[in-house]
Structure 1
């Protein structure tokens, strides 16, 4: 009787994969064996496998990840062609640039949980807008960018031109107006990396952002005459549908060549994942492949009553994922998890 071959243990297989990579990946392979740690490694391997199979990755960015300086690792992912499109909130679009030009004026408040209402008011009086443990300086960051981008809005308005919010940011970065004000290494800005690649960016709900409010004020003042000078919303969805249709290719079992890597929840994740059922159900484009990979990093409690906490299988019933689609949830803090996943994919 032939002896059964013993299957290699996961830690052995992972160690072999990491041996070709750097020390961070080797640390992950050695230590991340169970629970959320194992989910992180599985998701990272799935991300890598999807790209190796010829797929592309759409990344969604919610929360305050730009203020958390995700750009330090995300920018390299963009430069190395590990990210092919980004969907983000208006806050993440602008806050990477705020940090780019005003980093030296930011203040960290490590004891933020103990702040009294009076101490919060003192920060307000100093024009320091707090995001958890980090204060964004209004005058050095927000108002500096407002003045620069207002020129772009007014120029486009007078010329009868219309651009998306991210396109205005690209115009601003390419103009060189901000270059003398950079306060972080340019390679740590994901927006600069995206601009250099002319990366497709989708910004649903841009109106709910600091610059969105400033744009509304510019329209009210009459600085911008045509409120539609900045393109938003439905036009972003039609643009995403066009990009998905042209880019997605069938891989296997209904899965497509575009993966979906979601950081956080909210509109940044909800808006783009619906493009596939829209193509199928509303446009009757049955040949459009489903998403080919799905991973969500979230600290939302798993729940079928919460979209951000819903397990990936629920997305099967909505025509977004196939039963065979590789699916991962990493229930943790994205500021900790995302750079580790990126490190594995980058071979660090």
Structure 2
């Protein structure tokens, strides 16, 4: 039985039904010549969402991605150091001393998965520092994701690959030169490294890596060009935080701050989240709240799946891909 057939037969109520509705809405949006932004919060790359997301990119089911700096880099960490990762399924029961033991071994834990510092982070730092310095010396500046595209497409990391590169979503994005927005990139391991190299003098110009403000300006231009009435842009949000909050605001900015006419609202909205709205959480807010901020309209198809994105997102993608 196909995954899609299984899901449609068994997922009939509650969050299961919301998953089916959201996936069918995603497909309908694309069928109507729409484009889709996917936003990645949390640790989706370390959860190896690339296995399904890369195929979505290959089949042109995703047209732009917004992600945290962590998700940008952790997909590449997994690409070059997968065999050195360690799973800790009993992570809930680790003592403080055991956590310190992981630190001493340079194993940085993300829930049940430890990322090896030397094989992952430092290996990437060496290669990307060369690109930072090259741009710095030439007086050039690029977005964080563009530096990653450079090192991936150059083949400099190829000897270190430890997974099939077809399961790296960033590699597939690089091949298509997919637009990526990375707000708050400074809040990432490589962002910290870049700051360190600026402090030490290895990098002379802090603006060698472009900022979040420039990302918003870039997104405003992209949205203005792509969100024409015949081809609106949808918003598929995985998790909450800055990955979702930052890009969705481009629409009210275009309307309210730039006073541009003829800019459509987002044409589809879905969020996978387990955040609790009653605590004042924007990440857990029901989609209708976004109407009050000028992001979504009354008739915008809206879905919220209150569940674990590591389980839900690959299933939604399977339906969209008709697997």
Q: TM-score, normalised by structure 1?
A: 0.92
1:249 to 228, 235, 248: 228
The aligned counterpart of 1:289 is 264
Per-residue deviation, residues 34-57 of structure 1 (Å, max 9, x unmatched): 000000000000000000001000
Structure 1 unaligned regions, length at least 5: 1-21
Larger Rg: 1
Map 1:333-344 to 2 at 5 A.
333-344=308-319
What's the CA shift string for 1:75-133, capped at 9, x where partnerless? Answer: 00000000000000000000000000000000000000000000000000000000000
Aligned to 1:36: 15
Separation in structure 2 between the aligned mates of residue 303 and residue 287 of structure 1, nearest angstrom: 35
Alignment RMSD (CA, Å): 0.8
Structure 2 gaps of 5+ residues are none
Query: Aligned pair 1:320/2:299, yes or no?
Result: no
The structural deviation recorded for 1:250 is: 1.6
Deviation, 1:304, is: 7.2
1:302 shift after superposition: 3.2
Deviates more, 1:303-312 or 1:216-225: 303-312
Q: How many residues align?
A: 323
Runs of 4+ in 1 over 2 A off after TM superposition: none
Provide, for residues 131-188 of structure 1, a one-character-per-residue CA deviation record: whole Å limited to 9, x for no partner: 0000000000000000110000001100111000000000111111001110000100
Is 1:257–1:292's contact at 8 Å kept on the other side of the alignment? yes
1:207 counterpart residue number:
186
Match of 2:30 in 1: 51
Match of 1:161 in 2: 140
SS in 1 for 2:60: coil
Q: Aligned partners of 2:59, 2:233: CA distance in 1, in Å? A: 17
